[in-house]
Amino acid sequence: MSTPETSRFVRLRVELVLEVDDRDAVTEAALRRIADDVTMPVDERAHAESAVTEDTAEALAYLVDPFDLVSEVPGVELAQASWSSERIDYDPDSPEWDLGEDDGEEDFDREVAERAG
Protein backbone atom coordinates (compact mmCIF):
# COMPACT_ATOMS: atom_id res chain seq x y z
CA MET A 1 0.00 0.00 0.00
CA SER A 2 1.45 3.38 -0.99
CA THR A 3 1.07 6.55 1.01
CA PRO A 4 -0.61 9.36 -0.96
CA GLU A 5 1.61 12.36 -1.49
CA THR A 6 0.54 15.27 0.67
CA SER A 7 0.77 18.88 -0.41
CA ARG A 8 3.20 21.21 1.30
CA PHE A 9 0.61 23.96 1.01
CA VAL A 10 -1.95 24.67 3.73
CA ARG A 11 -4.86 27.08 3.48
CA LEU A 12 -5.34 28.86 6.80
CA ARG A 13 -8.73 30.54 7.06
CA VAL A 14 -9.06 33.29 9.63
CA GLU A 15 -12.10 35.44 10.21
CA LEU A 16 -11.92 38.34 12.59
CA VAL A 17 -14.58 40.74 13.81
CA LEU A 18 -13.02 43.87 15.23
CA GLU A 19 -14.73 46.57 17.25
CA VAL A 20 -13.35 50.00 16.41
CA ASP A 21 -13.42 52.25 19.46
CA ASP A 22 -11.33 55.07 17.99
CA ARG A 23 -11.79 55.64 14.27
CA ASP A 24 -9.39 58.57 14.23
CA ALA A 25 -6.58 56.48 15.73
CA VAL A 26 -7.11 53.76 13.10
CA THR A 27 -7.19 56.30 10.28
CA GLU A 28 -4.07 58.08 11.55
CA ALA A 29 -2.17 54.79 11.83
CA ALA A 30 -3.16 53.84 8.27
CA LEU A 31 -2.08 57.25 6.97
CA ARG A 32 1.30 56.83 8.72
CA ARG A 33 1.77 53.39 7.15
CA ILE A 34 0.96 54.81 3.70
CA ALA A 35 3.35 57.73 4.25
CA ASP A 36 6.12 55.33 5.33
CA ASP A 37 5.72 53.17 2.20
CA VAL A 38 8.45 54.61 -0.02
CA THR A 39 7.66 52.13 -2.82
CA MET A 40 4.07 53.35 -3.30
CA PRO A 41 3.60 55.46 -6.45
CA VAL A 42 2.31 59.01 -5.93
CA ASP A 43 -1.05 58.45 -7.66
CA GLU A 44 -1.67 55.25 -5.69
CA ARG A 45 -0.71 57.07 -2.48
CA ALA A 46 -3.33 59.75 -3.09
CA HIS A 47 -5.99 57.11 -3.75
CA ALA A 48 -5.00 55.13 -0.64
CA GLU A 49 -5.03 58.22 1.57
CA SER A 50 -8.49 59.13 0.33
CA ALA A 51 -9.80 55.58 0.85
CA VAL A 52 -8.54 55.24 4.43
CA THR A 53 -9.78 58.70 5.34
CA GLU A 54 -13.29 57.94 4.09
CA ASP A 55 -13.66 54.38 5.40
CA THR A 56 -12.36 52.84 8.62
CA ALA A 57 -12.67 49.36 7.10
CA GLU A 58 -10.24 50.42 4.36
CA ALA A 59 -7.90 51.82 6.99
CA LEU A 60 -7.89 48.45 8.76
CA ALA A 61 -7.12 46.68 5.49
CA TYR A 62 -3.95 48.79 5.25
CA LEU A 63 -2.98 47.97 8.82
CA VAL A 64 -3.66 44.23 9.02
CA ASP A 65 -1.15 42.30 6.96
CA PRO A 66 -1.33 38.49 6.62
CA PHE A 67 2.46 38.37 6.32
CA ASP A 68 2.70 39.80 9.83
CA LEU A 69 0.54 36.94 11.12
CA VAL A 70 2.91 34.22 9.90
CA SER A 71 6.30 35.90 9.51
CA GLU A 72 7.53 34.60 12.88
CA VAL A 73 6.22 31.04 12.40
CA PRO A 74 9.21 28.74 11.90
CA GLY A 75 9.27 26.52 8.83
CA VAL A 76 6.64 28.36 6.78
CA GLU A 77 6.69 30.91 4.00
CA LEU A 78 3.65 32.86 2.88
CA ALA A 79 2.90 31.75 -0.68
CA GLN A 80 -0.24 33.81 -1.35
CA ALA A 81 -2.65 35.94 0.64
CA SER A 82 -5.79 37.92 0.11
CA TRP A 83 -7.93 39.76 2.57
CA SER A 84 -10.68 42.30 2.64
CA SER A 85 -12.56 44.33 5.17
CA GLU A 86 -16.11 45.55 5.35
CA ARG A 87 -18.43 47.22 7.79
CA ILE A 88 -20.94 44.81 9.27
CA ASP A 89 -23.81 44.71 11.71
CA TYR A 90 -22.64 42.47 14.51
CA ASP A 91 -24.60 40.88 17.32
CA PRO A 92 -22.42 38.51 19.34
CA ASP A 93 -25.52 36.87 20.81
CA SER A 94 -26.97 36.00 17.42
CA PRO A 95 -26.65 32.34 16.39
CA GLU A 96 -25.66 33.44 12.88
CA TRP A 97 -22.30 34.60 14.29
CA ASP A 98 -21.18 31.16 15.46
CA LEU A 99 -17.70 30.74 14.02
CA GLY A 100 -17.30 27.69 11.84
CA GLU A 101 -20.90 27.68 10.71
CA ASP A 102 -21.76 28.04 7.03
CA ASP A 103 -18.19 28.82 6.03
CA GLY A 104 -17.50 25.70 4.05
CA GLU A 105 -16.05 23.85 7.03
CA GLU A 106 -18.11 20.75 6.27
CA ASP A 107 -16.83 20.78 2.67
CA PHE A 108 -13.26 21.10 3.93
CA ASP A 109 -13.70 18.26 6.42
CA ARG A 110 -15.16 16.06 3.67
CA GLU A 111 -12.22 16.85 1.34
CA VAL A 112 -9.73 15.93 4.04
CA ALA A 113 -11.54 12.66 4.76
CA GLU A 114 -11.68 11.80 1.04
CA ARG A 115 -7.95 12.42 0.64
CA ALA A 116 -7.16 10.26 3.65
CA GLY A 117 -9.00 7.45 1.92
Q: Domains in the chain: how many in total? A: 1
Judge whether 18 and 26 are in contact, CB under 8 Å: no
Asked whether residue 15 is assigned to any structural domain, the reply reads: no
Judge whether 61 and 83 are in contact, CB under 8 Å: yes
Q: Rounded to whole angstroms, how far apart are CA atoms 81 and 35?
A: 23
Average pLDDT over residues 23-28: 97
Asked whether residue 6 is assigned to any structural domain, the reply reads: no
The pTM of the full predicted model, rounded to 2 decimals, is 0.68
Please list, in sequence order, all residues whose beta carbon lies within 8 angstroms of the beta carbon of residue 99, skipping any fewer than 6 positions away: 15
**pLDDT digits 0-9 by tens, 52-111:** 999 999 999 989 988 888 999 999 999 999 888 888 888 888 887 776 655 555 555 555
Confidence of residue 7 (pLDDT cuts 50, 70, 90): confident
Output the pLDDT for position 100.
62
Question: Would you say residue 117 has pLDDT above 60?
Answer: no
Q: What is the domain extent for residue 29?
A: 23-75+90-116
Residues 65/67/68/73 CA torsion (nearest 10 deg): 150
Asked whether residue 13 is assigned to any structural domain, the reply reads: no
